[in-house]
Structure 1
Amino acid sequence: MNTIVSFKISYKNCVLAKLIDFYSYCDKKGLNLYISYRNKSKKITQLSEMLATLLTNYKQDFLIIIEGKNPESALKYLAFSGTTGKKFKILFPSYIYI
């Protein structure tokens, strides 16, 4: 059974190095990653796509959507991994089971 997890990231709290690490984690686990901004959702299939999306839409909050088996692990990884010293604040996490 696939699960969808979504959460909002504030641009003020965005740590690029941590998001790069997060993408690698999702890719390794076989999770589908989407970024939603300006009422558009984009499936992220390469790291360069994610970076281009984040950098060209700077100063906006993003909705990150993760789909697959056990996407909660990716959410926990992002929130609690020690990639940087700055704490990563995740806003409004929600879960949908398919």
Structure 2
Amino acid sequence: MPNIVSFKFNPTELKLNKFIDFYGYCTQWNQNIYVYGKNEAQKVHRLSELLSFILFSHDHECLIVIEGSGINETRDYISKHLSGVQTA
């Protein structure tokens, strides 16, 4: 079973507090978070990196990939708490 989930989102349509909660959820599982935009890709090591990417991304569509254990639970968390995203 793959230990990866990804979703697309428009940075201007999501609330930062949802991403702060999401980051905390992923760190509880010790999951790796990767963010991809049209001109940028990076592994997220700190909450500030995730928020900077979201705040300063000028892309209309970005991709987040989460890797690690607890992926099924993370997929459920995304569908319940992050409305406006598309699971890729």
Quote the Cα distance in structure 2 between the aligned partners of 1:43 and 1:59.
18
Q: Is there any run of 5+ residues in structure 2 with no aligned partner, and where?
A: none
Quote the Cα distance in structure 2 between the aligned partners of 1:28 and 1:4.
16
Q: What's the % identity of the aligned pairs?
A: 33
Q: Which runs of 4+ in 1 moved over 4 A?
A: none
Quote the Cα distance in structure 2 between the aligned partners of 1:72 and 1:18.
19
Please report how far the alpha carbon of residue 79 of structure 1 lies from its aligned counterpart in structure 2 after TM superposition: 2.3
SS in 1 for 2:42: strand
Structure 1 residues 14-40: Cα deviation after superposition (integer angstroms, max 9, x where no partner): 111101100000011111001100153
Check whether the contact 2:11–2:57 (CA below 8 A) recurs between aligned residues: no
Name the structure where strand makes up a greater proportion of residues. Answer: 1
State the TM-score, normalized to the length of structure 1.
Answer: 0.76
Amino acid at match of 1:53: F
Partner of 1:84: none
1:51 counterpart = 2:51: yes
Q: Is there any run of 5+ residues in structure 1 with no aligned partner, and where?
A: 82-86
Check whether the contact 2:26–2:74 (CA below 8 A) recurs between aligned residues: yes
Name the structure where helix makes up a greater proportion of residues. Answer: 2
